[in-house]
Structure 1
Amino acid sequence: MSASEAPVLRRPNGRPQACEPCRRRKVACDHSQPICNRCRKRRKGEDCVYLVASPARITTRRTPLPSPISSISPSVRHISLTSPPAAQSTSTEGPVRQIASARRGYFGFTSYCTVYEETQNSLSQLQGCNSTCHSVARSLSHESPVETPPRIISARTRDMCLTVLRNVPDEVSGKVFFRGRPFESWVYYFAQKALDSFYEIFGHYFDASRSDSKLEELVGIICANTIKPFSDEESDPQRWMGQFSGRRVRWETLGMFFIFWSFNTHSITRRDSDNQDEFVQESRLVERECLGLCIDLCKEFSCCNTLLLFLCYRRSLVESMVSGDASIRAWTYHAEAVAMLTFLGYHVSDNDKPYQPTLSSEIKRRMYHQIYTTDMVIVSFTGRPPLLGRRFASTPLPLDIKNHDLFADQETLIKAAQGLDERGWNTDGIVYSCSPMRGRAIIAAIREDLFELALGQGQVISVEALLELRERELRAVSEFPEQLFYRPEHLEDPTVEVGILYARLLLKLEHLQNMFFVERLLLRHGHNQTDLLAVSFDLVSFTLPFWTHFDRLAAVRADSEWLVMAYAVPAGGILCLELLKPTLHNNPPHGRDITRSGIIQKLSLLVGFLDWIRPTAPNGDLCGNCKSIIKHVLDQALNASSAGYESTGAFDWDFSTQVDFDFDLLDTFDWTRPDFSVSQQSHT
């Protein structure tokens, strides 16, 4: 039956149903399908949707306007999709309200919904209603049964689908390339199970006889599955995973696969290959494009959900590895992930006591703190205002439990939670995937307070406030469990897994960076540079292993560019200033053996690290600029006569113009420039 011949949808009273735009505007609708004439004249065809609610079900009918034909394929072909009714819902809310809530997302206290919800609750009490009136904000995932009629896919959408499926590897390659990364193993835990079921059921589509005609069959299946509602509130692990695995594979599932496929290609290619870097970069581009297509397809066929949020979060990180951490695309993709996070309401939690963990509640906690920590890291790199803040969030830290318990039955999950200490850390002495996530989130919360002082306008910063923040940082890190602390001997210990070694090193660097910020701000208030110098020396020292011990840390090679730029380079600027304007002979660090020779050695290794980063890397231009400055400083330090150095105590340089790393974003806080008084600045 064509769209023009489709029967008129009728309301329960028998009268024709108006489309949603006409109904909301309270104007007459001619009930034409797929698009009424009024919406056609207003060029609102994509919003022309018919909703009919009945006591048992809601029927929707929507046919979008034809999309522009993609240049990928000149052919105009259509795929008709049908989707069987979803499983029976147990929600007590009306179907129309549920559909609207799923589209509109979370609503807070100031929203228009709050007043009406309070009115509805009062009305229920007056009427003696025993049913619970759920908040609109919480009804996001309580989907009603939806019967989806046939839908036409445009040629452009078809080409998007086929582009994704053409890049899916065969079963053997797909399983070889599928490897997890540190901090994401909680996603990898179920992604691997979904991958196995995907190839078991649909593997024959990707064998040697692969063709577009075969893939079109799979396109119809995946699109029909993606249209089905996805419940983020499902707490049964098997039912939760069953929503996107097996025969119910969705575009979110494919996007998740591409994350774990291409991120690891560099670790299984030959290390002596001349084209390895080019291969890795090309792989990232394929991942970025396919991941972006999967996200666009998810948005077209479904509402926002946890899996789509994870894809958007990962896309921002992928983009930073392609175009650079300071690029506009990486920044906007990160902003989209933050917007989706708050849309879903994962930044708020009831914090009920005692807390009864569920799969859905723990996933929300993990997603919030992953994105929140990333936001603080980006602010550290760019100096741009944070997009998330704890003053508007109430989501506690996730529990430090292993993935096996998280995806087990409810009884096992509760038992695991009861075995944690009073701060939520595991008492097994093991680093689980959630352990470093918790540690980084704790450090990020203190960093947010530092940013308020460093980036805020019109604030009076007191020395007492800075000293209190420094004490908070030291106290917070001292309360970490022993298994999270890094020791230099871990680099040579083969029993320490690479993921755990990376987690410990990164936590150490994050802590030192907070101390770096504090000491730099204290320096502006008259404190001496001794502590800042010691922290800077450590920051460089603990970043260098990613280059000096590359064989040990090869699995995280992709993070090298931002690690050296985020942690070592700003600290290296302080070491450069020490060579140019020495202070060690007057005030050596207490209990530290930091010498001029040691500083030169660290900076020499840092130059080697920066030189190792290829010029075409995402942050390659920044690395090149920094390398040139450090080499210039070392040349001056090593070529100057020792007598001249000792007699003058400093080189005769114009600090205001020459010691500048020439990248504005990382220089937001002026880490690499000396402080000047007002009178000095007026003469520059």
Structure 2
Amino acid sequence: MTGNLFPSRLRDSHQNRRLNTNFRRNGKLQSCEPCRKGKLKCDHMMPTCGRCQRRNRAEQCVYHPAPLTKTHQLPTPQASDSSSPTFVRQSVDIDAVPAPALPPTRIDPSPTQHPRVSRASSLPAQPWSSIQYGQQSVEELRKPVPRAHVQARAISPSGTFIHHAAILAENELSVGIFPSNGETAPAIIYRHDIQRGAACLTLLKDFPRCLRYIEKWFSFAKGLIVIEPIITIFTTGINQTWGKWLQGSDDLSYMSEKVWQNTLKPWSTSITKDTSPRDFCLAATGENLRWEVVGLVVTLIALVCASLTDGDPIFCSDDDAPIDREATLIRAQNASQMCIDFCDDFGVLTDLYLWLLYENTGVYCALRTKGSYQNLKKSATLITALLFCNLHEEIKVDEKTPFFITEVRKRLFSAVYLSDKVGAIYTGRPPRLTRQFCRLQTPLDISDAQLMSDVQDPERIAMGLDENGWNRRGAIHLSTFQRLFVSVAMITEEIVEISMDIEMPPDEIARRAADITERAIERFESLPDFLRLHRDRPFQDPKRSPIELLFLAYIEMNAHYHQYLLQRVLIKRLGADSAKLLEIAKFMFKFVLQMVNNKHVFRDFQIDFVTLLNQNGVPSAAVIAVELLRQEQNPCGIMNPAHRLPRSQTIQDLSVFVACLETIPPNSCAYISCERGLRFLKKILDTILDPVQVNEAELNMDTSLGGFDFNDPLWLDMIALEQESWPNFS
């Protein structure tokens, strides 16, 4: 009713107005030209500000992208979409700025000019760049192919002899042609790029708060790739060199320009076999700060926001105003993606870039639905980068590769390899990395201090390991679990092979399934005692940290889950009996309930907790629920009394699990899969507990839950049995 009291001529214009979010170099919002020239206060609204609308000057109300630039072209501001993320590419005058400190960088002196669009008589004037086609402005449509992409150099693999330049590579030295020194064509830094970089750096203006976020992250989590000592060197260098600048300057263009210059310098040429980990990190921070390092810092901020809840003290304290966790998460993720785009646009491909791409992929996939096309495409980008850098070949120390870099590369490739296999099970599609073409190397079971030691002695480090490669002190490192994940990935890949190979004969499937089962059981039973949970109280061990309990939970569940998948293969491909599947589901579901009853332990690992519920809880609960319904429908049909489920206890356990599924927020990456399982379990419980309201047709239903047949215990191939594994702790 209030809306009807608002004049229609004003209501229509108000509904179409939006805030111009483009910033000037001083960090303030842009004002329209009449307000700027008249030094009047502007409300920064588009397409017409309030002052110009009241003065009937709609045609003169335009926003110039660079009002201090002396040009004769008409102003061409970028329209802002209120639905866009916090960080967007701004349309600016892209005349290049000088970069004297960077010899390979040259200047493009010609600014881009855009014609103005003629308008209809009933519409206010609209600049050319404000018209968008499918969220892509005309400015972006004119963007040429980056020079770094046109003149990019391919990295030839060393282990193959069929690639296009194999003959040349084998004979160039013999005819006096030596390898290139890596120089490329001069790069061009545009003012457009510097302003985008300055917008990205605004997330670091309150750098002390950023440090608190990072400290919080490492207080409960660890890193497989970007470990705490590495980030400490990075953040210390940023704080010492740029801390006062970030807090005291409204214009971050100078800092952005310096970061651009550092990023485009050849960096890997200074790395040798004798480079210490500290020197390696110092070469990318402080005065040498690069966009990869900026991206890693903001990505860790995004990981903290994605892992914790709104009520965590890091977001709400008595001294400071509450922090919008979700808004900070989106801003940090967008800033992380911007840093990746910066590197992509100029062909920057370093170890630091691979680290950033891995961490960014984890956050990206955590914000989107599991198994979606977007997540598959994002993970494919990461896999492509690893293959292009030849991480699928033997990783070893050489004249340009120090020991600690080889270990980090092994960790990175094995983590992505496992994620690829788990993703293949979830989506039901072939994996993109296979053991036939990849050399999967197990990283050493060493601590972060050993990895970052200034004295890199692989032989001395190996003396501290036992015959199976485990450390002799019984300490749990992140590399300890990474070693386990390698074997998990290999077993998972073999299960994928026998489940998807349409030409494999039945006897071969049975033989390989039995062999995989035997090796999986042997692997789990051979684990040392310090890698096992307490049998009776698995999550109540005061000597273990929550991150250790989480990892050990993954190990325990993988042991049961492999058996579960193998039984699914035997049932679907060979018509085996489902009795053993039910027994395995009982073990899985019991373990999941123990996690649910101790979920306070995993309060800082929301992504991983929901992952385990979706990966192991939903399938095992569904198997039990289907069997319980069968017992209700046909009490005399169970031949073996040992297979009968205790009715009361089973209903109670399912009800507890259902209550836990109901707490999963809609913005969770596994919400759709968990919500589907929730509807299914609730329907079965309703059918069992309230049979009076269910007629005979419903008891033999075929369509009420999307075509599921309760009389067929093999319906689970319709359920998402797995999810992509981008653990938030790595």
Return the TM-score normalized by structure 1: 0.74
Match of 1:493 in 2: 541
Match of 1:56 in 2: none
Aligned counterparts of 1:669 and 1:160: Cα–Cα separation in 2: 48
**Other structure's SS at 1:612 match:** coil
Match of 2:250 in 1: 211
The alpha-carbon deviation at position 503 of structure 1 amounts to 0.6
- The 1:278–1:530 alpha-carbon spacing in structure 2 relative to 1, beyond 3 Å, is farther
**Other structure's SS at 2:98 match:** strand
What aligned pairs does 1:238-253 form with structure 2 within 5 A after superposition?
Answer: 238-253=278-293
- The 1:350–1:275 alpha-carbon spacing in structure 2 relative to 1, beyond 3 Å, is closer
- The 1:448–1:357 alpha-carbon spacing in structure 2 relative to 1, beyond 3 Å, is farther
Select the residue among 612, 615, 636 that pairs with 2:666.
615
Select the residue among 117, 122, 126 that pairs with 2:169.
117
**Other structure's SS at 1:387 match:** coil
- The 1:169–1:103 alpha-carbon spacing in structure 2 relative to 1, beyond 3 Å, is farther
Aligned residues: CA RMSD: 3.8
Match of 2:131 in 1: none
Aligned counterparts of 2:685 and 2:323: Cα–Cα separation in 1: 32
The alpha-carbon deviation at position 289 of structure 1 amounts to 0.8
The alpha-carbon deviation at position 366 of structure 1 amounts to 0.9
Counterpart residue type for residue 246 of structure 2? F
What aligned pairs does 1:429-578 form with structure 2 within 5 A after superposition?
Answer: 429-462=474-507, 463-487=510-534, 488-524=536-572, 525-578=574-627
- The 1:242–1:278 alpha-carbon spacing in structure 2 relative to 1, beyond 3 Å, is closer
Aligned counterparts of 1:391 and 1:370: Cα–Cα separation in 2: 18
The alpha-carbon deviation at position 226 of structure 1 amounts to 0.5
Counterpart residue type for residue 221 of structure 1? K
What aligned pairs does 1:626-645 form with structure 2 within 5 A after superposition?
Answer: 626-640=677-691
The alpha-carbon deviation at position 413 of structure 1 amounts to 4.2
Does the Cα contact within 8 Å between 1:477 and 1:511 map onto a contact in 2?
A: yes
The alpha-carbon deviation at position 117 of structure 1 amounts to 2.9
Aligned counterparts of 1:433 and 1:540: Cα–Cα separation in 2: 27
The alpha-carbon deviation at position 390 of structure 1 amounts to 1.0
The alpha-carbon deviation at position 518 of structure 1 amounts to 0.6
The alpha-carbon deviation at position 104 of structure 1 amounts to 3.6
Deviations 1:434-456 (A, max 9, x none): 11111122111111011111122
Match of 1:72 in 2: 90
Deviations 1:551-593 (A, max 9, x none): 2111101333333222211222211211122499544669xx9
Deviations 1:297-336 (A, max 9, x none): 1223453122211222222221222122222221111000
Matched, 1:343 2:388: yes
Does the Cα contact within 8 Å between 1:358 and 1:410 map onto a contact in 2?
A: no
Aligned counterparts of 1:274 and 1:346: Cα–Cα separation in 2: 39
Aligned counterparts of 2:202 and 2:346: Cα–Cα separation in 1: 20
Does the Cα contact within 8 Å between 1:534 and 1:589 map onto a contact in 2?
A: no
Counterpart residue type for residue 242 of structure 2? F
Match of 2:728 in 1: none
Does the Cα contact within 8 Å between 1:406 and 1:413 map onto a contact in 2?
A: no
Match of 2:224 in 1: 184
Select the residue among 164, 189, 195 that pairs with 1:153.
189
Match of 2:209 in 1: 173
Deviations 1:353-395 (A, max 9, x none): 9xx9811221211111011011112122222221111110113
Does the Cα contact within 8 Å between 2:237 and 2:286 map onto a contact in 1?
A: yes
Counterpart residue type for residue 300 of structure 1? D
Does the Cα contact within 8 Å between 1:530 and 1:587 map onto a contact in 2?
A: no
Counterpart residue type for residue 628 of structure 2? L
Aligned counterparts of 1:73 and 1:287: Cα–Cα separation in 2: 21
The alpha-carbon deviation at position 654 of structure 1 amounts to 3.4
Aligned counterparts of 1:283 and 1:660: Cα–Cα separation in 2: 42
- The 1:672–1:528 alpha-carbon spacing in structure 2 relative to 1, beyond 3 Å, is farther
Bigger mean CA deviation after superposition, 100-109 or 303-312: 100-109
What aligned pairs does 1:391-410 form with structure 2 within 5 A after superposition?
Answer: 391-410=436-455
5+ residue gaps, structure 1: 1-66, 87-98, 128-132, 674-684
Which structure ranks higher in relative contact order (CA pairs < 8 Å, sequence separation ≥ 6)? Answer: 2
Aligned counterparts of 2:397 and 2:155: Cα–Cα separation in 1: 25
Matched, 1:229 2:262: no
The alpha-carbon deviation at position 109 of structure 1 amounts to 2.8
Match of 1:58 in 2: none
Does the Cα contact within 8 Å between 2:225 and 2:411 map onto a contact in 1?
A: no
Aligned counterparts of 1:350 and 1:321: Cα–Cα separation in 2: 29
Does the Cα contact within 8 Å between 2:195 and 2:256 map onto a contact in 1?
A: no
Does the Cα contact within 8 Å between 1:401 and 1:434 map onto a contact in 2?
A: yes
Does the Cα contact within 8 Å between 1:466 and 1:518 map onto a contact in 2?
A: yes
Does the Cα contact within 8 Å between 1:453 and 1:461 map onto a contact in 2?
A: no
Does the Cα contact within 8 Å between 1:625 and 1:661 map onto a contact in 2?
A: no
Match of 1:144 in 2: 181
- The 1:598–1:272 alpha-carbon spacing in structure 2 relative to 1, beyond 3 Å, is farther
Does the Cα contact within 8 Å between 1:405 and 1:412 map onto a contact in 2?
A: no
The alpha-carbon deviation at position 639 of structure 1 amounts to 3.2
- The 1:464–1:657 alpha-carbon spacing in structure 2 relative to 1, beyond 3 Å, is farther
